[in-house]
């Protein structure tokens, strides 16, 4: 067995032990799906688990559905299992804690993969509700902020930072104290695999809240002293991505902003408001305030500007006729 495969097996075992403390049944199911994914990559592709992307993952889902006859509900469990595996390796593999080997699997390929894009996975009889994908406007974000759970300072900072910068939740949890320049109000952003970092900026309205967190509330967190990250927790040196999602979705429920987008075949409800909603809301606010689409692509970290156009221009409320009359040449 190669050294990498040995490390992956060790990581799978460590992940199983970690999940077993929460649910033995879930741990067993997750281990089965993760191992199947690793075997699929070895047998059906020319990439390893640290070099695959979302296309490989969606091909895996398609293979499970069409070639192996798995039910959509099983494929969604596989999606959750693989995503959680990458997250825990990123959390504990950096320092080799909790039985995980020191390793880096790179980007989580499930972040931009979804079973719902696969034919046969989406229940087309239950379409998106009207406005289901619509981003939050400024007042709705304010309501979201006003309804965050305790610890209030931390959770308000999470929501406002996501909204003011448009960063992904995976990028938020990886912000280190050394990445923040409070004088220029800029943050250097790294993805799950450090290739080309980018810079984002936050507004002066965040200064006092950030100071409260850094100079007071953060110091009370159990792992604060040994953590280099902006958001340590009582369980580890770095917050998990799921915690970020929980902060946003729970605030949305309390604020009366949450609504069902659609119900999948497994009976699970997909909601309108999640952590990614704030990223989309940032992009739409930027465009509607006159921001340039190419600059937005850079700020969001999109490699292809067509991705930005496809996902954000359709929500713009800018009047094209008025824009053409105002900005077009008059000669």
Position 22 pLDDT exceeds 90: no
Instruction: State both tokens at 189.
Output: 């952003």
Handedness of CA 317, 319, 320, 326 (dihedral sign): negative
* Per-residue model confidence (pLDDT) at position 184: 96
What number is the average pLDDT over the span 211-216? 97
- ∠87-91-96 over CA atoms, to 5°? 125
Would you call 257 exposed, middle or buried from its count of C-beta atoms within 10 A (0-12, 13-18, 19+)?
Answer: buried
Residues 151-175 have pLDDT tens digits of: 999 999 999 999 999 999 989 999 9
The pLDDT, as a whole number, for residue 145 is: 96
In this predicted structure, what is the pLDDT of residue 128? 40
Q: Hey, how many other C-beta atoms are within 10 angstroms of the C-beta on 76? A: 19
State the pLDDT at residue 235. 83
Burial bucket for residue 225 (CB in 10 Å: 0-12, 13-18, 19+): exposed
User: Terminus-to-terminus CA distance in the chain, angstroms?
Assistant: 72
CA distance 208 to 182: 11
Give this prediction's pTM.
Answer: 0.63
The C-alpha atoms of residue 160 and residue 219 are separated, in whole angstroms, by 20
Which of 168-172, 182-186, 313-317 ranks highest by mean pLDDT? 182-186
Of residues 242 and 161, which shows the higher confidence score?
161
| CATH numbers and ranges of domains, the chain | 3-117 (1.10.150.130), 129-318 (1.10.443.10)
Gap between the Cα atoms of 61 and 75, Å rounded: 6
Residue 194 has pLDDT above 50, yes or no: no
Torsion of CA 64, 68, 71, 72, to 10 degrees: 20
State the chain's mean pLDDT as an integer: 85
Q: What is the pLDDT of residue 322?
A: 59
DSSP, residue by residue, 9-39: HHHHHHHHHHHHTT-HHHHHHHHHHHHHHHH
Q: Between residues 123 and 47, which one has the greater pLDDT?
A: 47
Of the pLDDT bands very low, low, confident and very high (cuts 50, 70, 90), residue 127 is very low
How would residue 1 be classed by pLDDT, with cut points 50, 70 and 90? very low
Phi, psi of 188, deg, nearest 5: -85, 125
């Amino acid at each position: 067995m190669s050294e990498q495969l040995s490390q992956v097996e060790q990581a799978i075992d460590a992940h199983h032990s970690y999940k077993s403390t929460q649910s033995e049944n879930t741990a067993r199911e997750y281990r089965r799906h993760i191992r199947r994914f690793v075997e699929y990559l070895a047998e059906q592709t020319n990439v390893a688990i640290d070099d695959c992307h979302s296309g490989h993952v969606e091909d895996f889902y398609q293979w499970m559905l069409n070639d192996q006859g798995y039910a959509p509900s099983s494929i969604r469990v596989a999606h959750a299992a693989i995503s959680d595996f990458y997250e825990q390796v990123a959390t504990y593999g950096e320092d080799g804690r909790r039985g995980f080997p020191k390793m880096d699997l790179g980007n989580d390929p499930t972040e931009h993969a979804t079973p719902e894009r696969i034919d046969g996975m989406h229940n087309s009889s239950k379409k998106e509700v009207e406005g289901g994908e619509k981003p939050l406007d400024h007042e709705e974000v304010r309501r979201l902020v006003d309804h965050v759970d305790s610890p209030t300072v931390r959770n308000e900072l999470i929501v406002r930072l996501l909204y003011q910068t448009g960063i992904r939740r995976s990028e938020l949890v990886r912000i280190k104290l050394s990445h923040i320049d409070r004088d220029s109000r800029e943050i250097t952003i790294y993805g799950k695999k450090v290739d080309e970092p980018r810079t984002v900026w936050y507004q002066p309205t965040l200064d006092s809240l950030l100071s409260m967190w850094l100079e007071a509330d953060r110091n009370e967190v159990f792992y604060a002293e040994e953590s280099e990250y902006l958001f340590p927790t009582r369980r580890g040196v770095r917050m998990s991505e799921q915690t970020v999602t929980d902060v946003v979705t729970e605030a949305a429920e309390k604020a009366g902003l949450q609504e069902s987008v659609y119900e999948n075949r497994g009976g699970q409800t997909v909601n309108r408001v999640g952590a990614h909603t704030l990223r989309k809301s940032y992009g739409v606010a930027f465009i509607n305030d006159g921001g340039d689409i190419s600059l937005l692509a850079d700020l969001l970290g999109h490699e292809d500007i067509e991705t930005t156009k496809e996902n954000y221009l359709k929500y713009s409320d800018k009047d094209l006729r008025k824009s053409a009359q105002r900005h077009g040449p008059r000669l």
